Homo-oligomer: A and B are copies of this chain.
Amino acid sequence: MKIRPRHPRPRYDARARIAKALAHPSRLMILEALENREVCVCDLTELVGADQSTVSKHLAVLKQAGLVEDRKAGVMVFYKLKVCCLQGFWDCLETVLAQNLKTQRAVLR
């Protein structure tokens, strides 16, 4: 049975660009840290535990995707979430992880 795409191709490209920005452990950690507050790059760097330049690039990825925005305050830069729909995403990831655990246990049994 022939399946038609629900949307034109570029729409999936655009969606994937957002999804890609979400597809890295450090970036997930950063986004979660930004829940309900803004945080400076220095604190995010300490949180992530990578080089400052690395964190800066992760932030650039998130910003480019439209997920966060920044605010300069003197010599510091504060980032905060630009979207409020991430909780559902975390929940979904956790659901999948829990389900995978269950599947794995079933295999071992």
Residues of A within 8 A of B (CB): 1-6, 9, 12-16, 18-20, 22-29, 32-33, 39, 43-44, 46-47, 65-67, 82-83, 85-86, 88-97, 99-100, 103
CB distance from A103 to the nearest CB of B (A): 7
Give the interface centre of A44, A90, A94 by most chain B CB atoms within 10 Å: A94
Contacting residue for A33 out of B3, B24, B39, B86, CB 8 A:
B3
Residues from chain B with Cβ under 8 Å of A82 in the complex: 99
Docked-complex contact B25 and A9, CB < 8 angstroms: yes
What are some 16 contacts across the A-B interface (CB < 8 A)? Answer: A1-B39, A2-B46, A3-B47, A5-B33, A15-B97, A16-B23, A16-B24, A19-B22, A19-B23, A22-B22, A65-B96, A83-B92, A85-B95, A88-B88, A88-B91, A89-B89
